[in-house]
Amino acid sequence: MTAAVLLNLAVAVLLLGFLYRQQRVHATFTVRVFTALGLGVALGAVLQAVYGADSAVIKTTGDYLDIVGSGYVKLLQMIVMPLIMVSIIGAILKLRNASSLGKISVLTIGTLIITTAIAAAIGILMAKLFGLTAAGLAANAAEVARGTYLQGKVADAQAISLPSMILSFIPANPFLDMTGGRKTSTIAVVIFSVFIGIAAHGIADKKPELFVSFDHFVKVAHAIVMRIVTLVLRLTPYGVFALMAQVVATSSYTDILNLLGFVVASYCALALMFGVHLAIIAGTGLNPFRFAKKILPVLTFAFTSRSSAGAIPMNVQTQVNRLGTPEGIANFSASFGATIGQNGCAGIYPAMLAVMIAPTVGIDPFTASFLLPLLAVITIGSVGVAGVGGGATFAALIVLSTMNLPVALAGLLISIEPLIDMGRTALNVSGSITAGTLTSRVLGETDNAVFDADVEPDEDVQPA
């Protein structure tokens, strides 16, 4: 380890110590997260200015920072499956009838899919307004290699159909899915948990003593899992700091400038779609500005981590403790939202890519004969996109191959992919929270006192 790396790590440790000091003096969770974001950006910018984005010093420094950043994400992923299971089983045990479960599922999934179709339309509009096209873009060696890799993945994408995707949701081996072994494991665990809850309901009248015992077991398990969630979420500022420092330190500003039009168009589309989410919230009678303020910390984490699935625990906590959404609905929307109908990765991104690439093969992308099939393919293909890094690429492969467009051209965006993916992931999480809030509101389950509370709701992640 060189002296330069040791110096970089010493500075990082000092900044982490400052964040710990904030925690000790009980600074609010929101303040600590945004402080971490700012410190991470500052450290990353300094590292790149001093050493250069491709230097060995930055790579080695990033490897050590990754212990904090990716380590935090792994801890969140560790608690995703236990949280889903105990929360959904517990919620079903409280339901009076099965029709409530059906309403929750239909409203949540319906909202996710409809908003993805709207997101795709917004992506098409932004591509039109900014005049985006892949024609004439030069490709360097990395982009060519990426294009070749994507071309090799076309067969996998083409093998996916709606029936096969729906079948993949069924947990043939629930213990495998509890390990996250498949892209659709999250939904499979949800379905398995639903079966357990319904089965437990079935013995409530026949064997009440066993039902009471099982109900007590679930409550104990839930309390323990939620305590683990609290402990892990306290680490959020440290994870945000490390993740942001790495992203900024390794970003190529030259590549970003070369593709600035696509970056700006993407973030305009993301901002517009976020506005749609706020409009939906306003349509339910809730204050959209209060909603935006309360979900900002979880969106910040999603932005830095680029993992919708990793954000599930914090997503659920935010909906329950800040927005007044019942835990069962919050878990349904967070879990399904990490795999179905991702507004950013499965909506905006593939739509913009398709419109950009179509002119390279002589297709006018702004005709009804192209746009209508494109919207249909995006909406259907949004079912089952994994909520981890690479989900947007998979969604794009499905759309481009189905529309008979050259998928290798998507490799031209490899240099700015991380920057755009940060915003896409934040929008994905916003969409899942919007679906949960809308569902809760329509069913009359929202705790308005929690939603309207002006007190900083950070006690759940503050030190005891």
Between 74-83, 245-254, 267-276, the lowest mean confidence (pLDDT) is in 245-254
Q: Which of 150-154, 222-226, 240-244, 276-280 has the highest mean pLDDT?
A: 276-280
List pLDDT tens digits, range 83-109.
888 888 887 887 656 567 788 888 998
What gap in Å lies between CA 272 and CA 276, rounded to an integer? 7
- Is pLDDT above 90 for 125? yes
The mean pLDDT of 420-439, rounded to a whole number, is 93
Q: Which domain holds residue 252?
A: 3-461
Structure-model confidence comparison of residues 307 and 443, the more confident one: 443
155, pLDDT greater than 90: no
**Residue at 125: amino acid letter:** L
Please give the radius of gyration of the chain, using alpha carbons only, rounded to the nearest integer: 22
Length of the chain: 464
CB 82 within 8 A of CB 225: yes
Of 300-309, 354-363, 412-421, which gets the smallest average pLDDT?
A: 412-421
Residue 45 predicted with pLDDT over 70: yes
pLDDT for 439 beyond 50: yes
CATH no. for residue 109? 1.10.3860.10
pLDDT value at position 20?
Answer: 93
Confidence of residue 250 (pLDDT cuts 50, 70, 90): confident
Name the domain count of the chain. Answer: 1
Residue range 406-435: average pLDDT?
82
In degrees and rounded to multiples of 5, residue 340 shows phi and psi of -115, 135
How far apart, in whole angstroms, are the C-alpha atoms of residue 441 and residue 53? 47
Q: Which of 23-32, 38-47, 64-73, 210-219 has the lowest mean pLDDT?
A: 23-32
**Is residue 134 pLDDT above 80, yes or no?**
no
Q: In this structure, are residues 397 and 159 in contact, taking their beta carbons and an 8 Å threshold? A: no
Count of other CB atoms within 10 angstroms of residue 371: 18
The yes-or-no verdict on residue 463 having pLDDT over 60 is no
pLDDT at 175 over 60: yes
Higher pLDDT: 431 or 163? It is 431
Mean pLDDT for the stretch of residues 210-239: 89
Q: Output the pLDDT for position 154.
A: 54
- Residue 461's pLDDT is 44
Q: What pTM, to 2 d.p., does this model score?
A: 0.77
Q: Is the pLDDT reported for residue 313 higher than 80? A: yes
- pLDDT at position 213: 93
pLDDT of amino acid 34: 86
Is the per-residue pLDDT at 459 higher than 50? no
pLDDT of 397 higher than 50: yes
Compute the distance between CA of residue 213 and CA of residue 229 in angstroms, rounded to an integer.
24
Mean of pLDDT over the chain:
83
CA–CA gap between residue 429 and residue 345 (Å, rounded):
11
Higher pLDDT, 362 or 282: 282
Higher per-residue pLDDT: 318 or 151: 318
